[in-house]
Structure 1
Amino acid sequence: MLLSYCTNVHPAEDLDGILAQLDGYAVPVRESLGADRLGVGLWLAAEVAAGLAADRSARRRLAAELSARGLAVQTLNAFPYGGFHNEVVKHDVYVPAWTSPARLRYTMDCVTVLADLLAPEAGYGSISTLPLGWREPWGTGEDLRCGAAFEEVCRVLRTSLSRGERPIRLAVEPEPGCVLDTVADAVGWLADRVDPEHIGLCLDTCHLAVSFADPAAAVERIYAAGLRVVKVQASAALEVADPGTEPARAALRRFAEPRYLHQVRELRSSGEVLAADDLPQALDDLPAEGPWRVHFHVPLHAAPDRPLTSTTGVLLDAVDAVRTHAPEEHPHIEVETYTWNVLPGRPDVAGGIAEELRWAQVRLAAQEVGR
C-alpha cells in the first residue's frame, strides 16, 4: 500500500516553490518515517499544470526531482484551481465549476502531467475533482454542460488507454453544500452518465462523516451502481455530541477561522439532518439539540480537546468497506489535512504530517491483517 499525503497543505503555486516546499516538508516527513519512498498526492495550481502540460521536458525534470527526493506520485488533487492559501478562500474553492471550459482544460492538463509522473508501481493514476460546483445557482443547463465536459474527459482517457498507457481515472469528490452534496447525490448523477472505467468517486471521509451517512451503506451504494471508489481521502471531521453547552460552543469558536468554509450538519432525533454552510452561521442559526459534525479536517492522530472529538471511526469503517467491495483494486489512499496552517495553536506541520501518516499506516495495516 503506497499511502500518500496531499500537498495542498502547502501554499506554493509555482514550480520552484513547490520543490522548496517538498524539501521543507515532504523530505523530512519521509526521513522521520524511515521510508525509502514517500507517496505524495500533488496539488498543482492551474497555471503550474498548464506550464507542465505544454512542456514535456519540464515534466521529465519534475519526475526526476521527485525521484531524487524519494517521492512517488500516483494521484493529483485537482479540486482547488488556485489561490488555495489566500487570506479568504471560502466559496472560491468551487470556482471554476465544471460548467466552465477552464475546469476541463485544467483537468486535462493534470491528466497530461500525471501520465509522466506516475510511480513505476502505480497500476493507475487518479485525479480528484470538485462535485460539479457549489449548489447555487444550478439548473438543467448547468447539468448539460457538465455532462458534455465529462464526456470529453472520458474520450481523452479512453484514447490514452488505447495507446497502451496506464489508466488515469477521474474521481469526483462529494462535498457538503455542493451540487453533489453526498455520496448518494454523486452516485445518482454519475451512474449511467459516465464510463466507470474512467470516472468514479473520491471518498473524502471527512465529508462522508459530516453527511451522517453510514459508511458501509454509502460504499455499498457506489459499487451497486456499477461505479468504483477510485481514491480515498483519509480525513476526519470535528464532532461534538452536545453543541448547545457553553464549553462546546467556546471550543467550536476556536475553529471558526476566516479562510475556509466549514459546513456543519446537525443530526436530529428524528433522523433529519439540518445544514449550515459555515461554522459561524451554525453557531447563530442551528438549534444545537443534536450532535454536530463540522467540515474541518483535523489531524488523524490527535483528537481535539474535549468536549470535541473527531470522526476517525468513519474513516476506518469506510476504508474497510471499500476493501470488502474491491479487494483486488487497491484504491489510492491519501491523507488530506489541508488545515494545518489554520489549526488553533499552529502546530508543527512536518512533524504532524509524519505522525498522521504513521497513525494511518498502523491502523490501516492492522485492518488489512485482520481481514
Structure 2
Amino acid sequence: MHLSYCTNVHPAEDLDGIIGQFDTYATAIRRHLDADVLGLGLWLAAPVAAELAADPAARRRLRRELDARGLEVVTLNGFPYEAFQAPVVKHAVYHPDWTDRRRLDYTLDLARVLVDLLPETAARGSVSTLPLAWREPWDADRSSAAGRLLDELARGLALLERPIRVGFEPEPGCVVENTTQAAALLSDVDTSRLGVCLDLAHLACAWEDPAEALARLRAAGLPVVKVQVSAALETADPVGADSVLRTYVEPRFLHQTRSAAGPAADDLDEALDRRIPGPWRVHYHVPLHAEPVAPLTSTVPVLRAALRELIRQDACDHFDVETYTWGVLPEEIRPRTDADVAAGIAAELAFARAELLTEVTP
C-alpha cells in the first residue's frame, strides 16, 4: 500500500513554488514521522501540468527534487483545475467539467507527468478527477459529450508507457454523488483504466454504508482506483450545535450538508438558515486525528469501517490523506504557522498509518 498526503492544501501553482513547498512542508512532515520516504499526492494546477507534460527536462527536474528529499509520488489530484486556494472557490472547482475538452487535456497531461514521477517499484499510478460535473445543468447532450471524452481518455491512457488509472470521485451535489450513481453512470467505461476515487468524507456525507458501497461498485465492475482518507463534520443535533457550526461557515469552499432524514443543502450556511432536520453530515474535511470543536463530532467511525472493508477485500493500494481546509478552520483551532501545518499533517498521516496497520495486522 502507498500512503500519502494531498498537496492541494498548499497554494503554489508554478514549478518553483511547488518545489518550495517540499522544503516548507514535506521535508518537515517526513522528519516528524521519522520516515525514510514520504508519499505526496501531488496537486498540479493545469498550467504547470501542461508545462511539465510538454517539457521532459522539467519533468526530470521535478523527479530529481523529489528524490533528493526522500519524497515519492504515485498519485496526483486532478480534481481542482487551478486556483484551489483562492479566496473564493465554491462552485468554480467543478469547472471545466467532463463536457469540456480542457478537462480531458488536463487529465492526460497529469497522466503523462506521472509516468515520469512513478517509483520503479510502483505497479501503477493514479489520478483522481471530478465526478463528471456539478448536477446542474446536466442533460442527455452533456452526458453524451462526457461519454465521448471518457472514451478518448481511456485511449490516451492506453498509449502511456506505464499503467495510469483515473478515478472519478463521487461528491455531494454532483452528477455522480454516491456509489449508486457511479454504478449507474460509469459502468460502461473502460474499467481497465477508469474507475472510482473513493473519498471517505464524501461517502459518509452520502450516508452510505461502506460495505454496501463497495459491494455496489464491485457488482458494477468499477475498481477503486484511489482512496482519499478524509473525515467530515457530523452533528446529531444541529439546532443545539448552531453557534459552533456557524464558526465553520467560511467563504472559500463549498460545504454541502446532508441529513440522514433526506433534506439537503448545498452549503452549511444554507442548511443552518433553513434549519433542515438532523442528524447532519457536512462536507467539511476536518483533521483526522483531532475531534472537532464540541459538541460536533467527525465521521472517523465511517472512515474506520471503510478502511476495514477496503483492506479485507484488497480493493485498493493508493491511500491519500486529503484535508485541504487547514487554512479555513475556525480561528481557535486554525494553525498559525507553516510549522503548525506541517505538524498537523504529520499527525494525520501517523493516524492514517496506524489505522491501516491495524487492519493489515493479524
- Paired with 2:139 and 2:104, the residues of 1 have a C-alpha distance of 19
Say which of 212, 218, 222 aligns to 2:217: 222
Aligned residues of 2:226 and 2:316 also touching (Cα < 8 A): no
CA displacement 1:24-50 (0-9 Å, x = unmatched) = 001100011000100000000000000
**TM-score scaled to structure 1, two decimals?**
0.94
Alpha-carbon distance in structure 1 between the residues aligned to 2:133 and 2:316: 28
What TM-score do you get using the length of structure 2 for normalisation?
A: 0.97
Match among 348, 352, 358 for residue 360 of structure 1 = 352
| DSSP-derived class of the 1:127 partner | strand
* 2:287 paired residue number: 299
Is the contact between residue 229 and residue 322 of structure 1 (CA under 8 Å) also seen in structure 2? Answer: no
Matched to 1:234, the amino acid is: V
Q: In the alignment, which residue of structure 1 is the partner of 2:310?
A: 322
RMSD: 1.0
Contact map agreement 2:263 2:276 (CA 8 A) in 1: no
1:250 alignment partner, one of 243, 251, 254:
243
237, 257, 263: which one aligns with 1:274: 263
Q: Any conservation in 2 of the 1:196–1:228 contact (CA below 8 Å)?
A: yes
Distance 1:198 1:46 in 2: 21
Cross-structure match for 2:229: 234
C-alpha distance in 2 between matches for 1:183 and 1:274: 19
1:331 Cα shift? 2.3
Aligned to 2:258: 265
Deviations 1:184-224 (A, max 9, x none): 11121111x21111001000000000010111100111111
Give the whole-Å Cα distance in 1 for the aligned partners of 2:151 and 2:244. 46
Q: Is the 8 A contact 1:202 1:233 kept in 2?
A: yes
| Structure 1 residue 330 displacement after superposition | 4.0
What displacement does 1:158 show? 1.9
* Distance in 2 separating the partners of 1:2 and 1:40: 10
Structure 1 stretches of 4+ with a deviation exceeding 3 A read none
The amino acid that maps onto 1:256 is: V
Structure 1 residue 241: Cα displacement = 0.6
Query: Which whole-Å CA distance do the structure 2 matches of 1:255 and 1:131 have between them?
Result: 25
SS in 1 for 2:43: coil
Report the CA distance between 1:120 and its aligned residue. 2.1
Q: Which residue of 2 aligns with 1:341?
A: 327
Match of 2:361 in 1: 369
| 1:1-371 → structure 2 map (5 Å cutoff) | 1-160=1-160, 165-191=161-187, 193-245=188-240, 248-268=241-261, 273-288=262-277, 290-325=278-313, 327=314, 330-345=316-331, 346-347=334-335, 348-370=340-362
AA in 1 matched with 2:359 = Q
Deviations 1:44-93 (A, max 9, x none): 00000000000011101100110001100000000000010111000000
**Superposition deviation, residue 166 in structure 1:** 2.5
Identity of aligned residues (%): 56
The one-character-per-residue Cα deviations of 1:14-33 (angstroms, maximum 9, x if unpaired) are 01011111110011000110
